[in-house]
Amino acid sequence: MKVLLVGVGGVGEAIAIMAQSKSWVEQIVLADYNLERAKEVQARLNDATRFPAEFVDAAQQNMVEELANKYQVDLIMNAADPLYNVPIFEAAYNTGKTYMDLAMTLSEPHPEDPYNQCGVKLGDYQFERAPLWEKKGLLALVGLGVEPGMADVFARYAQDYLFDEIEEIGVRDGSNLEVRGYEFAPSFSIWTTIEECLNPPIIWEKERGWYTTPPFSEAEVFEFPEGIGKLEVVNVEHEEVLLVPRWVKCKRVTFKYGLGDKFISVLKTLHMLGLDSKEPIKVKDVMVAPRDVVAACLPNPARLGDRMFGKTCAGTWVKGVKDGKPRQVYIYQAADNEECMRKWGCQAVVAQTAFNPLIGWDLLEHGVWKGVGVLGPEAFDPLPFMEKMAEYGFPYRIKEM
């Protein structure tokens, strides 16, 4: 398999590092707007032929197409900020390549009633084009990171193997990670974090469909395993709520994140000051998006690994009935930062994200997963994926609740 990897940030770097030991991965083109960053990762991999570094402006569809054709890749892996999903997605379609991403095309709040009604939903752009991909016999596998991705596989597994009837599927994410030496240092892209945390969260109910609520709504305490313990989690906009109901039978789907009071306070302050805006403003003679300034001021999450301590836990809580009896389970994967740094030299959050698309490549390359159109992880048999998780260093566990 030959892959064009668009975006060589923390997750992109971790994908390449984990793929290095897989002989069936023939070549990964390391493409990034920051060419020096791509070359830095290339030097770490110590194989310029197998991991060529290229400059790409992901906003320019033609540049992505040119690289895909130049290297005759089989798959375009979108590991860039979701702001660039449309040109990368369309480049894959135009060049006839398999497409995969970690997060779907962005939403737009309802113009008049954003905290009750949906506007443009996450992934709407991609799903509207599914018939075109089907007609062309191409596959776009969307939302295959950890959340969305692994969590969606768990939802399908719960339906197929653990429950007779499902009342609610709730993705629950929390950690006890600590970044020492910084007053505020997110462990993942602040650009993406602002997007998903400050947009109206979305919920799905069988009788109501998709609807929205205010940010940080419906707080509850969830007890995470692996020593993380009880954390308050709140509603956050996330792709699982848009993906799961398309393939998994249930009555309700939610996504809640354990952000913490301090993190929520910072995000609210950024919003209050307009620093969460994606729209460029003129500062003296320069046009710049306030959110990009915030991102530039904060430390690079990919470089925080040696300052991070603790674990991060991603998983899917499922409530329903099995053999006539009520049942609740939490299917999860917990990653320890020190272990991730020791094994791959990557911090836990990006490492836990990166192994999932690599398993996806593996299953596609060996004909285990097949399909055409625009499909989420729930559209495929979950067992082959889950069986490979331990092999890739990230075993799952199931906790009865």
DSSP secondary structure letters along 124-151: HHHHHTHHHHHHHT-EEE---BTTTBHH
| Average pLDDT of the residues in 139-144 | 98
Of 381, 335, 339, 333, nearest to 360 (Cα)? Answer: 381
The helix or strand, by DSSP H or E, that contains position 196, with its residue range, turns out to be helix 190-198
Superfamily per CATH, domain 150-346+396-400: Dihydrodipicolinate Reductase; domain 2 (3.30.360.10)
d(CA 87, CA 138): 16
* CB neighbours of residue 266 within 10 Å: 18
Ranking 215-219, 243-247, 255-259, 261-265 by mean pLDDT, the lowest is 261-265
| Calpha distance 201→135 (Å, rounded) | 33
pLDDT at 186 over 80: no
Residue type, position 359, single letter: I
Residue 349 has pLDDT above 80, yes or no: yes
Same fold, 2-101 and 150-346+396-400: no
CA dihedral 111, 117, 119, 122 (to 10 degrees): 140
Neighbours of 182 (CB within 10 A): 11
Q: Is the peptide bond before 215 cis (omega within 30 degrees of 0)?
A: no
pLDDT at 376: 98
pLDDT digits (tens, 9 = 90+) for 57-87: 999 999 999 999 999 999 999 999 999 999 9
Report the SS3 class of residue 205. strand
Q: What is the pLDDT of residue 299?
A: 80
Taking a C-beta distance cutoff of 8 angstroms, is the pair 252, 210 a contact? no
Angle, CA 18 vertex, CA 127 and CA 368 arms, to 5°: 50
Amino acid type, 215:
P
Q: pLDDT tens, 83-136? A: 999 999 999 999 999 999 999 999 999 999 999 999 999 999 999 999 999 999
What pLDDT score was predicted for residue 73?
A: 98
pLDDT beyond 80 at 181:
yes
Say if residue 307's pLDDT is above 90. no
Please state, in angstroms and rounded to a whole number, the distance separating the CA atoms of residues 377 and 143: 7
pLDDT, residue 372, reads 98
Q: Which residues contact 310 (CB under 8 A, 6 or more apart)?
A: 175, 176, 177, 178, 228, 336, 337
Q: What is the mean pLDDT of the chain?
A: 94
Alpha carbon separation from 281 to 195, 262, 294, 318 (Å, rounded) = 18, 28, 14, 44
Write down the pLDDT at residue 182.
Answer: 79
Q: What pLDDT, on the 0 to 100 scale, is given for residue 261?
A: 82
22 class by beta-carbon count within 10 Å (0-12 exposed, 13-18 middle, 19+ buried): middle
Looking at residue 114, its pLDDT comes to: 95
Tokens for 263? 């993190």
Cα–Cα nearest to 334, from 148, 162, 151, 175? 175
Please name the residues in contact with 160: beta carbons below 8 A apart, sequence gap of 6 or more: 382
CATH code for residues 2-101 = 3.40.50.720
pLDDT at 193 (0 to 100)? 82
Distance CA 383, CA 362 (A): 14
For the whole model, what pTM was predicted?
0.93
Give alpha helix (H) positions in 273-395: 290-297, 337-344, 348-365, 382-389
**Structure tokens of 319?**
């409530």
In the chain, where are the structural domains located? 2-101, 150-346+396-400
CA dist 271 and 262 (Å) reads 14
| pLDDT for res 283 | 87
The pLDDT value recorded for residue 14 is: 96
